[in-house]
Amino acid sequence: MTRSPMNPRRPQDNDGGGRKAVLADFIEQARGVYLQAERTFGGGLCRRFRIGGRLLALHFAGPALASRLTPALEHLAVPADGATPDFTIFFWDSVSTGTRMPPPPWSAHDYAGRGEVSGFSDDRFRLAFHPGSGILNMADTRAGFALYWIRDAGQLPYYESGAPMLPLLNWWLNDRGLQVVHAAAVGHPSGGILFIGKGGSGKSTAALSCCFRGGFLYAGDDYCLVEPGALRVHSLFNTAKLDWERLRMSFPQLEPAVSNSGRLDGEKPLVFLQRHWPRLICPVFPIRAVLIPSLTGRPQTTLTPAKPMDIAKALAPSTIFQLAAAGGDELRLIAELVRGSSGFFLELGTDLDAIEPALSRLLEPE
Amino acid sequence: MLPMKKGDRVSYRIPDSKIIHEVFDDEVIACNLDRGHYYSIDDSGAEIWRLLLAGSTVPEMAEHFSNHDPSNRETIASGIQQFVDRLLEEGLIAPADNGAGKLPAENLPLTRRTVFTPPVLQKYTDMETLLRLDPIHEVDETGWPNAKKQV
């Protein structure tokens, strides 16, 4: 272990073009390491998923990361049929594959908020490294591929299993008019609702109440994908994540399905709904309303109209400040969604059985 | 230190890609991606934001609003200057070099709101924690930071 993070290959400050060339070179080196890791397991493992109507190929050098990252996406899995994927991501870790990642061509001083590394991303090459989780994401968006590396798959944070590779999905899909958003989504194939707002505002409680104490179908309880041009939402992850007390008190039927029940002293319970309630999941539906929930402590649930600016404030910051290298392009897509949507404040009542009936009128044909 | 004084004929620009913004009817949302702050601006403030983006100077904006309320010309100019100073303090705008991007006054965009109300910049800091970094004290022998141990 060393305390000197400086790397002799680090390009000079303000050398934007130099940094991007260095990143392109580093991505090539890292891709070589992936291929070496893949050979360790005799060719690796390939899985395919249809996300937002587009084909995504995931190549895993070995099983260590595949078993942790694919459960959240299983509801979108498709068989390999020879079709060319729209985007490909290569995954490996050093510990299980016995490979060594080259040193980063940047210094510890370059790390910035949201996992960005100052000066190392542009329209084509994207880079994020989260020092807290140790996950490295790099993409060549023009070539249509990305790399995902962590030193030890055994150290993958639980929340990454619940909502994997968010920066990579955003880099891939934003260019195609689809936006990853911090929102829950429930409804029916004919139409549904987005719940937006920062953590703790009641998104999961509202979404799971509608599905497990009402008749709505589930598309997501924390992140989903919106297509503003068509005013549709696509499911990303089949994960339900909720505080343990809330889960036990309000949704006891989920308790036997918790995937991380042995680690709840430091983790929120995760439930992969596709494993237990596959018919509850709806992969895509039109957006009929966008709701800003809040927990009131009063029994009844009420709706009051919200202005476009209210929706923008509840959705844009909590989405954009979570996504590495997100900026104006993401805000433009979110603004398009906001301008096309009907918005409401949702005061969530303590009577969870009454939430879905209160919202059903929003889904009635106009 | 602010780079301009009242009465200077300076136009402004959005400083870089770390400031993003969108206009919704008569309201504006802006985010400072470096600081983790976001802002809402409405009423006359949203109008001033539009005029700033079109390259207007403070005196030009004061003239614009004063046309409909000539008796309050001084109050209007002072209110606009204070608002522009707040935008500068928050890094949401910066002086434009050599008047770059500035439009001739006669080309100022048509506006819907011309009655002046003292503009307010509403600032929100609740997303700051999402940008907070764990300090990196140690890296391994290959130069990669050591991740926090998972509980």
Q: Which residue of B has its CA nearest to A315?
A: B29
d(CA A204, CA A243): 10
A305 in contact with B, Cβ within 8 Å: no
What pLDDT is stored for residue B1 in this prediction? 34
Task: Tell me how far CA of residue A54 lies from CA of A72, A144, A186, A360, in angstroms.
Answer: 17, 12, 21, 30
A2 in contact with B, Cβ within 8 Å: yes
Pairing of strands A135-140, A302-306: unpaired
Binary contact (A309, B137; C-beta < 8 A): no
Domain boundaries, chain A: 16-174, 179-363
| Tokens coding A158 | 């639980």
What pLDDT is stored for residue A363 in this prediction? 93
d(CA A13, CA A50): 41
Residue B147 identity? A
Q: What angle do CA A219, A275, A264 make, to 5 degrees?
A: 90
Query: Residue A42: is its pLDDT beyond 90?
Result: no
pLDDT in tens, A273-294: 999 999 999 999 999 999 999 9
A119, A16 contact by CB (below 8 A): yes
Q: Residue-wise pLDDT tens for chain B (151 aa)?
A: 334 454 467 899 998 779 999 999 889 999 999 999 999 999 999 999 999 999 999 999 999 899 878 888 899 999 999 999 999 999 999 998 765 555 554 455 545 556 899 999 999 999 988 887 666 667 777 888 876 665 4
Query: Residue A12: is its pLDDT beyond 80?
Result: no
* Distant-in-sequence, close-in-space partners of B142: CB < 8 Å, separation ≥ 6: A100, A101, A102, A103
Return the CATH architecture of domain A179-363.
Answer: 3-Layer(aba) Sandwich (3.40)
What is the ipTM metric for this complex?
0.89
* Distant-in-sequence, close-in-space partners of A236: CB < 8 Å, separation ≥ 6: A51, A73, A163, A169, A180, A220, A223, A224, A225
Phi and psi torsions of A126, nearest 5°: -125, 145
Of A73 and A113, the structure prediction assigns the larger pLDDT to A73
Across the range A339-357, mean pLDDT stands at 95
Query: Residue A177: is its pLDDT beyond 70?
Result: yes
d(CA A25, CA A115): 20
What pLDDT is stored for residue B4 in this prediction? 47
Binary contact (B146, A111; C-beta < 8 A): no
Model confidence at A153, in pLDDT bands (50, 70, 90)? very high
Domain boundaries, chain B: 12-129
Q: What angle do CA B6, B10, B11 make, to 5 degrees?
A: 130
A353–chain B nearest CA distance, Å: 31
What is residue A235's DSSP assignment? -
* Paired strand residues for A182: A223
Query: Residue A217: is its pLDDT beyond 80?
Result: yes
Q: Any idea which of A80-84, A174-178, A230-234 has the lowest mean pLDDT?
A: A80-84
* Distant-in-sequence, close-in-space partners of A215: CB < 8 Å, separation ≥ 6: A356
